Structure 1
Amino acid sequence: MAEDLLKDFNPFDIFDTEAARLDRYFSGLDEAGWRRPSRCEGWSVRDVLAHLAGEELYNHACLDGTVHDLMAQVADVGVTGFNDFNEWCVRERGDLPVEDVLAEWRTKNGETRERMRALGRDALLDTMAGPYPVGLQTFHYDSEYATHADDVGAPVSDHEIDDRTLWRVAVGRFVLAEQDAKVQVEQTADEMWTAVDGVTAALSYPEFVEATVGRLPASHEVDPRVVSALRCLA
């Protein structure tokens, strides 16, 4: 089963680790650091923080069983779909002091992590896609937080890199299977072999991770059909 790919990893511990990484990084920024462009097209580092803070509205709605109520509320101000929601979250916090946005994210995310851990991996969570296991949803959050940490340049120590890459490879493989993506993926000792529409490509583990989250550089030589097929987490 696809979920077996994740059985050796604790999603709640990973969530705590990636949230702490972002918190440390955000806490040390000056004004120039906040204004610096991130890897998210059109977003500064400050915008990434605003996105994460605003996203807690959705995370808490999932925990409270009020997702459809939240979507109805934001629809009243013209927000439809996740892209609109993300941009709205950033706009809503554009005029707030960055210290307030950081405090909002730190508090709300801390509550999210605590409540999800308390529920446990097998409990069900209300989401836009319907009931979904808490543990699997947490893995999705893990991937997003790791991706945004990389987007803003939050440091990753040498002793973390290998384990961090391995869980991200596992999450990417799981989500591809969950989505029934039309791409064949095989993991070897040192690379990921992929195939789609008769086109094959061998990627390093980090390259595979970057492809699954839509961060593989456009200059990369992997066939665009493979790149498109692997993108599943962003």
Structure 2
Amino acid sequence: MVDIDAIVDDLDAERADLDEAVAGLDSRGWRSPTPAEGLTIACQIAHLNWTDELVLRAIASPAEFAGGTEGVLAPPDATDAINAGAEFVNAGTRQRSEWPKDKLLAAWRDSAAELSRTLRALPRGTRIPWFAPRPLSAAAMASSRLMEIWAHGQDVFDALSLTREPTRRLMHVARLGVRSRDFAYQLRGMVPPEREFRVELRAPGGEVWCWGPEDAAERVEGSALDFALVATQRLHRHDSDLVARGEAPEAWLAIAQAYAGPVGSGRPRLGPPEGLPGGG
């Protein structure tokens, strides 16, 4: 049985780490650019606040949520829905990113606290409509929100040149990265491999997290941190410690995407391939 309280506890802890990183910023730091093209730290927090409020709207009134998003949940196909949903979210993010720091930070804290309370109280079996191929359970939504905070938080930590110690909460991000394998292919109009891969990741605590058949020949191995960074497109696959055994897992790592957003370009290489000066 899924322990929703434990997942939301992790969600709250992830958010608290990010809050601590941004709370003391002055106005100049608040407007600092992040590695995500065109997004400042203010934009990152605005995105999290706005999407928190959208989740609350979706929970409170699913039909009104669908109508309020002007049909972006039901374009002709899933890719169109993802793209339309992203533009809808981006419009709200841009507007809120112009708010004064104190106003936006307070709004984010309030929406985050309300969302956590709401997710804990949802009746078992509740499904939440979202910008995803299908509605999400409360546990899946909590994990998804944690992944969003962790990924956007990575942009903020990078912008501030801060090191964030990995925690066991990476399990949520890694699990989403594994479970979204087929979605990453479908989003690009590609046919997913029929075979399951074996994924074995070294957790921050030293244990190994595993998914997929134990005897699978095609597999991915490496650290949970690097897998999470690659799956959220915060690190280029070839700058990671991940080892792909087989052509299909290698191709997957190039497109892995744990979030329900449009196809992105991801992060550029930090350096040229080994043995090929200048990347030739």
TM class by shorter-chain length? 0.7 to 0.9
Number of residue equivalences? 221
Aligned to 2:199: 187
Matched, 1:137 2:141: yes
Aligned to 1:172: 177
CA distance in 1, matches of 2:156, 2:5: 25
1:1-234 equivalence runs, <5 A: 10-64=6-60, 65=62, 66-72=64-70, 81-119=84-122, 122-128=125-131, 129-153=133-157, 158=165, 161-176=166-181, 182=192, 184-188=196-200, 190=202, 202-217=221-236, 220=239, 225-233=251-259
Aligned to 2:271: none
User: Structure 2 stretches of 5 or more lacking a match?
Assistant: 74-82, 187-191, 203-207, 262-280
Change (3 A) 1:179 1:134: farther
Superposition deviation, residue 120 in structure 1: 5.4
What is the one-letter code of the residue matched to 1:135?
A
- Secondary structure at the aligned position of 2:258 is classed as coil
- Secondary structure at the aligned position of 2:130 is classed as coil
- Secondary structure at the aligned position of 1:188 is classed as strand
Deviations 1:65-124 (A, max 9, x none): 22212212999xxxx712212321232124321211111111122111110111156422
- Superposition TM-score, scaled by structure 1 size: 0.76
CA distance in 2, matches of 1:218, 1:131: 30
What is the one-letter code of the residue matched to 2:141?
Q
Change (3 A) 1:120 1:170: farther
What is the one-letter code of the residue matched to 1:186?
R
Query: Larger C-alpha radius of gyration, 1 or 2?
Result: 2
Superposition deviation, residue 168 in structure 1: 2.5
Change (3 A) 1:133 1:147: same
CA distance in 2, matches of 1:157, 1:11: 20
- Secondary structure at the aligned position of 2:168 is classed as helix
CA distance in 2, matches of 1:94, 1:166: 30
CA distance in 2, matches of 1:51, 1:157: 21
Deviations 1:117-166 (A, max 9, x none): 111564222334554311111111111111111110186765xx241333
Change (3 A) 1:110 1:34: same
CA distance in 1, matches of 2:5, 2:107: 29
CA distance in 1, matches of 2:5, 2:255: 25
Change (3 A) 1:81 1:45: same
Structure having the larger proportion of residues in helix: 1
